[in-house]
Every structure is written in C-alpha cells, then in structure tokens.
Amino acid sequence: MVFVEASGRGLVEERLTGIQEQAAVVADTLANYATDPETRRLRPRQAELLLPPLIAPTRLRARVYQPDGLLAVDSRQFLARNMVQRDELPPLDTFSKFKSWLTRVYDGMMGVRPFTRPESYYEGGTNGRVYEEVEAALKGQVGNAERVDEQNKLVLSVAIPLQQKPFRTIYGVLLVSTESGDIDDIIRQERRRLFEVVLVAFAVMLASSLYLAGTIGEPVRKLAAAADRVRFGQGGRGEIPNFPERTDEIGDLADSLKSMTAGLYDRIDAIESFAADVAHELKNPLTSLSSAMEMMRRAPDEESRTRLMDIARGDIKRIDRLITDISDASRLDAELAREAPEPVDLSRLLSTILEIYGMTENPRGVRFVLKDELPPGTIIKGRDERLGQVFRNLIDNAISFSPDGGAVTISAVPHDLAARVTVEDEGPGIPPDNLESIFERFYTERPGETFGKNSGLGLSIARQITQNTGGRIWAENGSAGGARLIVDLPVPRT
C-alpha cells in the first residue's frame, strides 16, 4: 500500500515538473512577443493570437492574468465551435452515490486518490488572485497547487510570471492547469496495468500451487497417511504407496520409505521368531532339569542321584550359556546402530587373535595356521571388537569340529575390492543341505555333544556383524573334506 501510494505521488510530481517546463516555454514566448516594452504592459490581443498554437499541443488549459490579477485571456475561449467541454454532474440516486463512493475507495486503495482529500478546486472567474499560485507568481515566484474538483478528480496548476530577461518587470501571470481528471486517468491506467500484472502473477501462483499440490502435496500426504497406518499398526502389514513413474525426490522418498517399512517388518518378524526360538531353546534344558529333579527324589541309590545331579548341572550350565548368548544377541542390533566405523588393520587383528589363542590352554592340541597374503596396511571399516568377535566365533566353530591334533587354517587374501578371510578345519564337513542353515539362530548339530557347550548363536552373530560392515559370509566344504567359512570385507578406496 505504501509503495502504491508513493508511486502515485511520484507520477503527480513528475506531471507537475512537466507542466512547469511547458508553462515556462509559453510564458517566455508571451513575455517577448505579447508585451509592450515602452508601456511595460501586456498586450491582450497579441496574447490571444499567440496562446492557442502554443497551448494546443500540451492539452492544458492556460489563463493569462494582468498585473492587477484580472483575467486577460482564457484558452477555453478558443475551443472549436463544435467542441464541448463535458463535466459529470454529482450523483443523485443511491446507486450512483454508492458507485461513486466505491470508486473513491478503489482510488484510495490503488493510490489514485489518497483518502486525505486535498484543497477543493473552484473557478475564480475574472479574479486570479483567489489562487495562491497566482499570488506567488505576481510576486515573481513560480507557484503550483494540487486540488480536486467536485467529482474528486485531481487538478494540477502552475503559475509563472511573465518577465523579460534580464529585467524583473512582471507583465502578467500565466496560469496553466490540467483539465480535471487527466492525471487520474494516467494513474488509473498505470494501476490497471499493475493490477493486471498482479492478476497474472496470482493466476500463475494459483496454477503453481495446484500443480505442486497435485504433484508433491498429494503424494506426500499419501506417504504420511501410510506411515501413520504403519505406526498405529492398522490393517496388518501396511503397504507404502509406490510411484514407479516418479524419478524425482518424491519417487526416491517413496522407495526409501517402502524399503524402510519392509526392513521394519522384517525386524519385527525376526524379533517374533527370535522370541519363539528363545522360548523353545530354554524349555528344553528346563524340561530336562525338571525331570532330573523329579527323578532325584525317587532315586534308589547314591549313584543314581549323582548321575541325575550331573544332568542337572549340565542343564543349568546350558541355561546360563543360553541366557548370556541371548542377551548378547538381543543387544547386538542396537549396539551396531550406535557404533561408528573406524579404520581397522585386518592383518594386525588376525595376528593378535591367533596370538591369544596360542596362549590359551588347548587340551585337544588343535593347531592354528595363519596365511596372510594381504598387502601391507590393508584397512577395512568397522569396529575391531566386533570384527574380532566374528573371527573368534568362526575359529571356535572350527575348533569344535576339528579332530584332536588337527589344524585350523586362517587365510587372508585380496579379492576384487574386498579382503577375503577363510577359516578352514579338518573336521567332517557340512552336509550340502545345511550350508545355509548353520547361520540360523540356535541351529546346532554336533553328534555326541553335551549340554551347555553351544547355544547355536555364534555363526548367526557373525553374519549379522559382517552384513553390518557391508560384507558377506557363507560356508562351503573344503577339498580335503573339512568345513570352510569365508568372509568378504570391503576395502575402502584410498
């Protein structure tokens, strides 16, 4: 609003400057050719002849006043015979008055006519002294004024004294004024153009808003609604909307949400399966323990009670191991999500692990062989504690299947953009149908093994940690018949 009003004010001032320049040219001409230097008076007849051709191109009204303020010449006297000066009469009926009021409000809001009404315009008749600007010109100054007529139309006027340079004798005053409303029409035209630009801008903004609402807002709303259904668990396994035709950020967001939701449901299914497996695995030693305690009361001799007591101790050990391993496995996901990967020297890690195994008591006499063919300083991204847990689980698994005095071979070689670590034993190998099953939770198959020595979670934890580092792990049988567990860990490019 302030900008519009300031712009309208600038147009008015620019128009006043233009009128003053035109009036100065006309006044200079009249002062030189329509005055009597001897009597120092205005010659009205000469002014009547000069004024029409001078003022006609300007579309202004010109009046010439003598030094005493009386009207000498008025350009309206020279209108063509068939030309009629038209002025609108004030509105009489209610509708016309309301329309006039509405027009004035519009003019005020658009900066055509400010709400603060200027001085009213009036016809001074033959006496020019009623105009302040004429009084100022009679004193040798240039005067101007802004007024509004009865129709609230702006009338601009400029008064210039008629003087011959360099003399300061005033022969009269030239008063030049706009016909009522012409500056208003100019401002209205500018405002109309501005309003058209605003309408076009609004139409473009509306079309853009509708387009964005349809192409961005609506898909985002559908995605938000689907996310809420997943959050509240409404309708079972909620499906995230897919937008295969979208190749922009919305399509990427939908694909990411779909993958995230699928991962979340897989995690929920895994938790449910894990809980069922835990319950099943704990029931076995608990059932055995309960049976041993019941049979102990009925044991006929000390030897039977001792044998039942050993069974009970074995069950308790297995329960304790299960609880410890289950606790570690249940915390693993959260810990892997919180831990930030760090550079790990793989060769140093493997040598340190085997050094610890060499210093540990080994009643079965299993030997360890390290074949490290990695380039010096091979670095992988991960956590040394977790990667160490992977290799310890694989080595423990190999030890458990190795014969007395057998060898566990650990090999490390570069492979494409990864470091490949292989742990191989000299045991009976893995049945072909179980090469993938051994990585399932609580899976274990060790003939003749006593309770409490294995929970079946080691290889499952190893796979979980390996996948978290971006690698993979699988099993196969070696050429000599033993089991071979292989881990590929990505090596970052330097």
Reported as a single tens digit per residue, the pLDDT across 391-431 is 998 998 888 888 888 899 999 999 888 999 999 998 888 88
Q: Which residue has the higher pLDDT, 181 or 294?
A: 294
Amino acid 113: pLDDT: 54
Amino acid 282: pLDDT: 74
CATH 3.40.50.2300 for domain 340-494, yes or no, is: no
Signed CA dihedral, 307, 310, 316, 321: sign only: negative
Q: Is the pLDDT of residue 485 over 90?
A: yes
Q: Is the pLDDT of residue 7 over 80?
A: no
Asked, as a colleague might, if the bond just before 37 is cis with ω within 30 of 0, I would say no
Task: Establish how many alpha carbons lie within 13 A of residue 3's alpha carbon, considering only the half-sphere containing its beta carbon.
Answer: 2
| pLDDT digit string, tens, across residues 152-191 | 677 889 999 998 877 778 899 999 998 765 666 666 677 7
121, 183 Cβ separation under 8 angstroms: no
Residue ranges of the domains in the chain?
A: 2-180, 340-494
Query: ∠ CA 439-443-445 to the nearest 5 degrees?
Result: 115
Q: Is the pLDDT of residue 235 over 60?
A: no
Q: Is 219 helix (H, G, I), strand (E, B) or coil?
A: helix
Mean pLDDT of the chain: 80
pLDDT band at 252 (very low <50, low <70, confident <90, very high): confident
CATH superfamily for 2-180 is PAS domain (3.30.450.20)
Q: Which of 108-117, 358-367, 377-386 has the lowest mean pLDDT?
A: 108-117
Rank 47-61, 98-112, 211-225, 243-257 by mean pLDDT and report only the highest.
47-61
pLDDT band at 322 (very low <50, low <70, confident <90, very high): confident
Which of 394, 389, 354 has the alpha carbon at shortest distance from 465?
A: 389
Amino acid 265: pLDDT: 79
CA distance 323 to 289: 16
Amino acid 446: pLDDT: 59
pLDDT over 70, % of the chain: 82
pTM: 0.49
Hey, which bits of 150-245 come out as E strands?
154-163, 170-178
Q: Which two tokens stand for residue 339?
A: 């831990």
3-state secondary structure string, 156-214? Answer: EEEEEEEECCCCCCEEEEEEEEECCCHHHHHHHHHHHHHHHHHHHHHHHHHHHHHHHHH
Q: Which residue has the higher pLDDT, 354 or 335?
A: 354
Q: Is the pLDDT of residue 96 over 70?
A: no
4, with CB counted inside 10 A (0-12, 13-18, 19+), is middle
Q: Is the pLDDT of residue 122 over 50?
A: yes
Amino acid 324: pLDDT: 77
Amino acid 350: pLDDT: 92
Amino acid 486: pLDDT: 93
Secondary element (H or E) of residue 360 = none
In angstroms, how far is the first alpha carbon of the chain from the final one? Answer: 61
Rank 115-119, 321-325, 341-345, 448-452 by mean pLDDT and report only the highest.
341-345
> What average pLDDT does the segment 432-439 reach?
86
Amino acid 81: pLDDT: 45
**How far is residue 195 CA from its own chain's centroid?**
31
Q: Do domains 2-180 and 340-494 have the same CATH topology?
A: no
Amino acid 82: pLDDT: 41
pLDDT over 90, % of the chain: 18
Amino acid 370: pLDDT: 92
> What average pLDDT does the segment 232-236 reach?
64
Amino acid 1: pLDDT: 45
| pLDDT digit string, tens, across residues 19-47 | 899 999 999 999 888 888 787 788 888 88
CA distance 394 to 413: 17
Q: Which of 35-49, 99-113, 224-238 has the lowest mean pLDDT?
A: 99-113
> What average pLDDT does the segment 60-71 reach?
91
| pLDDT digit string, tens, across residues 263-290 | 777 777 777 777 776 776 677 778 877 8
Q: Is the pLDDT of residue 453 over 50?
A: yes
